[in-house]
Structure 1
Amino acid sequence: MFKKAGWFLFLVLILSSPSLAWAEDSFLTQDRANILWTLLAAILVMFMQAGFAMVEVGFTRAKNAGNILMKNLIDFAFGSILFFLLGFGLMFGTDVGGIVGTSLFGLKGVNFASGGAWILTFWFFQCVFCATASTIISGGVAERMKFPAYVIVSIVVSALIYPLFGHWAWGSLLLGDEGSGWLEGLGFIDFAGSTVVHSIGGWLALAGALLLGPRTGKYTPDGTSKAIPGHNIPLAGLGVFILWFGWFGFNPGSTTSVDGTIGYIAVNTNLAAAAGVIGAMLAAWLRFGKPDVSFSLNGALAGLVGITAGCYEVSPVGSILIGLMAGILCVISVEFLDKKLKIDDPVGAVSVHGVCGAFGTLAVGFFAAPGFGDATGVFYGGSFKLVVTQFIGVASGFLWAFGCGLILFGLLKKSMGIRVSKEEEIKGLDIEEHGMEAYPSFQIFTTE
């Protein structure tokens, strides 16, 4: 009892100490709080890398688990270095023509005397976003892409493709008007990255999947699609819950400040994810006669991706509707790509991130609600100008990412090859690419 009272008095004395009396300087208090909040959010987003890895490992075969983990690892490793050296400056440096940033390469000139505490914090937050965009590609090209070729893709995306589009939409976030990109000038809204992060990654995955071709055994000679089940659905479920958890850093953290909007952004994020599960479950249930687990898991991610652009702009009811529609759209898109277009996307990356990211960005033009964010959507009496602006942003994101992806994957295909041999694919990329097995104590069947 006395020990607890002693600790309480100690805390009172510390908090009332003049050296820590931040209340005497409200700006300093807010500044430190913003840094702490943004760092916490960045740590949550960094943990999402584990979620992506688990989802992808769970939805694919055991013989490729180590290869998938390796790709996710190098996404964050190379992404951190390249975003530091080049990407951050292209994305948030002093603007030229609304197209590209031209300063802050390698954080040159940043120190504590120049406001470096905040710039370094902001860099870390944006670095983990960059790694997210790169990691999305991994799912679309899983189980058949050469590891060296993937490393080059990851480097180019982190250093050039993601940062350049990011500058167009988010360039002013650090330097204000001095860094503003051309999409910002049009009034494009993508609060936390439905298009900037997720669709860019999704469209790059589409280009990769298209040029790689389907996995061996995915389609019969007459074009009928065959399911290739993942080896560990519980692991995929764990990954989805990790991502859901991390998204509370992704969306609310994009405020980069401690203010009253954090709470309702978190509410919108959670409601959209929940509605995404329900939408995908019901759609799959109607389509296949059973509530499919894989589709339901991807439905949660579809809802999260869909609300990311408008989490600051829409009402809680709007977030439910957006999440519900994103979940349904995810099922339709996966089926369309697989059965109609014959594009093999092992984890649904194109549908979840590309398609639902585009949908969520467009939805802002309709669902933006007065009294929440700064815009008014069509459903609340706003004009179609915002819808047109959102469409321009979505279309430019597709043309940029898919176009760059076709060029990048195409050049690699001609120069060094991007696909492993049929024999290597059948044996598994763990053994052929890395000389090891993720599950050495278990028998893994590799006939397909």
Structure 2
Amino acid sequence: MNCFNIFNSKTKKKSKSSPELREQQQTQSSKQATRLVKSTGSISSPRSIPELYREKGHNLKKFSFSELRIATNNFNRMLKIGEGGFGSVYKGSIKPVSGEGDPLVVAIKKLNRNSLQGHKEWLAEVQFLGVVDHPNLVKLLGYCSADGERGIQRLLVYEYMPNKSLEAHLFGRALPPIPWITRLKILLSAAEGLTYLHEGLEIQVIFRDFKSSNVLLDENFNAKLSDFGLAREGPQGDRSHVSTMPVGTYGYAAPEYVETGHLKSNSDLWSFGVVLYEILTGRRAIDRNLPQSEQKLIEWVKQYPADSKRFRMIMDPRLNNQYPLDTARKVAKLADSCLKKNPEERPPMSRIVEILQDAIRESGNGNISEITSVAPSPLPEPSTRRAVRYIEYWRHEVFFVSRGCFRDHARCESQFLFIIL
């Protein structure tokens, strides 16, 4: 999905080394004071991200363009693992920072020189990821900033996430479905990452583009938030919000933010609620391939309230009913609380973490620390995958018929009989 808006190219010409610093306020809110005590042990004026970066940014390695070109075999297409408005992402290998040991596998994001998102978002990623430090945020190892005959080169080097994104597993048919307990663990780790951004730093950070494609999965299916190009410092002092041009992804952005440009941390809560329903249903936030009444996920699920007998009908058929229904209802109610029209009624991320921990305990019947993520079942052998996808497709069609969607009933019924025979 593409962003519904991007940075205006007519930005004010100020220093390119850091975003504009906000005016410091004399009065500190109680939440800010709590964050300051957590991060520094004392109460003082919060420092901005650029100021914190000047203190911590030396931990990032500055790569030369030639190093990254070698790491990706001259940006070989066969090593491309992602693409977006910013440019392309390649899998590569570099020497360990210590200079000893085996090559380190990394992901290298190469900014498209014609990208409209440009230098400002690249700089935001460098500064935010150069400051934050949390197991549920993707780790930035270094960057490359080179200007030469070939033009401006802007690259970022991240830790490699072998299990791709949550989006790839939920909606791609090339990967096996994620089991219920693993879905909950992914949600929990993503929520812990957002909680850290909202409450665990000296200054509040609003992610602003939380979506399933920005939730990456490591070898153990632990989630890490990625793509901080749109991240923004939260309001300071007695300010209730940050006024900014609305940016984000259609289907995920909070409606009050889109309408007014007023950005708060609870704008991220709305986006989290959308992803909660994506996890439950296996459907995208916006899917133009579905009947018109079902294209907008949040509107469609309203027909199947969590307490109703019809609720089970929204659950992802690829789960094969392997989930506790009562816990699924609880997760749906949590999503509904994140999707409150009044942003002040949405729960804080720390409360969401607690509810998800309870849901995991209920699903695992034990201590949360003893529950490990269950990897998806392996895919069938290549020779049988087409047949499996074929059967899954018609199972999906019959599933819609059972819900009262008779648009292709006759064709679906005859084909289903053919598969049985």
Same fold (TM over 0.5): no
| Structure showing the higher strand proportion among its residues | 2
**TM-score normalised by L of structure 1:** 0.29
| Structure showing the higher helix proportion among its residues | 1
**TM-score normalised by L of structure 2:** 0.30
